[in-house]
Amino acid sequence: MKFAVIVFPGSNGDIDMFHAIKDELGEEVEYVPHTADSLAGFDGILLPGGFSYGDYLRTGAIARFSNVMGEVMKAANEGVPVLGVCNGFQILLEAGLLPGAMRRNRELAFICRPTQLVVENNKTVFTSSYEIGETITIPIAHGEGNYYCDEETMKLLKQNNQIVFTYEGENPNGSLEGIAGITNESGNVLGMMPHPERAVDQLLGSADGLKLFQSIVRNWRENHVVNA
């Protein structure tokens, strides 16, 4: 399986994402600049964390108009797995690939620490290697991770089982109903604030994030064999 790590001006999680795929997962991966006009040949797309375009206007608001985002949206609509982590999640929200919006953390401070997540849905291409209700340790590092949506959107998120991860116990950023990660209705686009790519080896304090990437590969291989 071949992954694209999209690099925006100000990205800082791209190297972590590249390492997770190449060295821990053992799959093919390439950096793709924000100026790229094609994502042909890639089987998975990763939008890393960071401060794209300096987080001016709103987090992800300028990156949403990057040249490559047209191709990301096209790939997402074709069913390609797209993962946005932290700033990547914010970009997916701004691009309309996921519903809702991101606000400043409740305490108006940057938070950087391990968090406990609950796997709310293990029937997605990103979570099939987890158990439903499993608690995993994944670090966060953000200043604007307070997820918000209106009542109708929340109703649809629950109805379609789009809430994939929630914070266990303490809600670190004030996110509505403790939401830490959601998918689109089709289930092939996941946005999450915690960083699974920084939890792929016990030397990092947790290897719980590796299962997320393994899930993507396993589902891709199953479909690839079926469609071969």
Q: What is the pLDDT of residues 29-72, one digit of tens each?
A: 999 999 999 999 999 999 999 999 999 888 999 999 999 999 99
Supply the pLDDT for residue 226.
57
Name 86's Cβ contacts closer than 8 Å, sequence gap at least 6.
13, 48, 49, 50, 140, 141, 142, 145, 192, 193, 194, 195
Residue 228 pLDDT exceeds 60? no
To the query of whether residue 86 is one of the catalytic residues in this protein, the response is: yes
Q: Average pLDDT, stretch 170-181?
A: 97
Cα gap 183→197, rounded to integer Å? 18
Mean pLDDT (the chain, rounded):
96
Q: Average pLDDT, stretch 175-181?
A: 98
Supply the pLDDT for residue 223.
85
pLDDT band at 227 (very low <50, low <70, confident <90, very high): low
CATH architecture under which domain 2-227 falls: 3-Layer(aba) Sandwich (3.40)
Supply the pLDDT for residue 224.
77
Q: Average pLDDT, stretch 76-103?
A: 98
Supply the pLDDT for residue 57.
84
**Which residue in the list 27, 34, 71, 86 is annotated as catalytic?**
86
Q: Average pLDDT, stretch 87-93?
A: 98
The single-letter code of the amino acid at 153 is T
Quote the tokens at residue 105: 């953390």
To the query of whether residue 151 is one of the catalytic residues in this protein, the response is: no
Map tokens 């789009």 to a residue. 162
Q: Average pLDDT, stretch 65-80?
A: 97
